[in-house]
A and B are shown apart, each in its own frame.
Chain A
Amino acid sequence: DAGVIQSPRHEVTEMGQEVTLRCKPISGHDYLFWYRQTMMRGLELLIYFNNNVPIDDSGMPEDRFSAKMPNASFSTLKIQPSEPRDSAVYFCASSRSGGYNEQFFGPGTRLTVL
């Protein structure tokens, strides 16, 4: 299995621009998570889906952030408009229900907003 795939790996954009991050979870996993990691705050859960349905989006910082999961193999995290304080590494993770629900993380997207 290829693991969780994220794209792009790096994104540099200017303040005010729209940014879209993409994630392909591991096949067969029914949970998908979006995290943000910064030096100051560590890893923070933004939102997670179960069977393509958003379950908890309480970690989404503001209305500028939105996430979708149109099917079991694809999810997007969109920031519109982007701001410099959104600069961080964004991780996508997936897991299978049952057992320990171990989460497998993707390589992350490093976002820099100038």
Chain B
Amino acid sequence: KNQVEQSPQSLIILEGKNCTLQCNYTVSPFSNLRWYKQDTGRGPVSLTIMTFSENTKSNGRYTATLDADTKQSSLHITASQLSDSASYICVVGEYNAGNMLTFGGGTRLMVKP
């Protein structure tokens, strides 16, 4: 069964600090991996999308990495801001499965002043 596991479930950091969120998946055959940010009361918004051949992709202060061999991904947030407080969801697409995605449970990040 395709699964996406995220850790930690929740995280509290001080403003200005860096943090790294982890994602492990068992989706096969792999097509792509996405990181979404979901603010409270809103729908998820895509941060990055990576395919098999991409090791890293950045979007401002967000940098995602992908190791397709170990089936692991991470999302690194640099110089955190209060607005980074949100849930971060790792999502994996299956090859030739059209638009079927497998969602992780998310990491809830709180950035404190």
A residues engaging B (CB < 8 A)? 4, 31, 33, 42-45, 48, 50, 55-56, 91, 93, 95, 100-108
CB of B99 within 8 A of chain A? yes
Inter-chain contact A48/B43, CB cutoff 8 Å: no
Give bound CA distance, A91 to B91, whole Å.
16
Number of residue pairs across A and B with beta carbons under 8 Å? 48
- Partner among A91, A103, A104 whose Cβ is within 8 Å of the Cβ of B101: A103
Inter-chain contact A107/B42, CB cutoff 8 Å: yes
Q: How many residues of B contact A (CB 8 A)?
A: 20
Residue of A nearest to B103 (CB): A43
Give bound CA distance, A72 to B78, whole Å.
41
1/0 per residue B86-102: CB within 8 Å of A? Answer: 00010001000011110
Of the A-B pairs whose beta carbons lie under 8 Å apart in the complex, a sample of 11, sorted by A's number, is A42-B103, A43-B44, A44-B103, A50-B98, A100-B34, A103-B46, A103-B101, A105-B45, A107-B43, A108-B42, A108-B43
Give bound CA distance, A103 to B32, whole Å.
13
Give bound CA distance, A2 to B49, whole Å.
22
Residue of B nearest to A99 (CB): B49
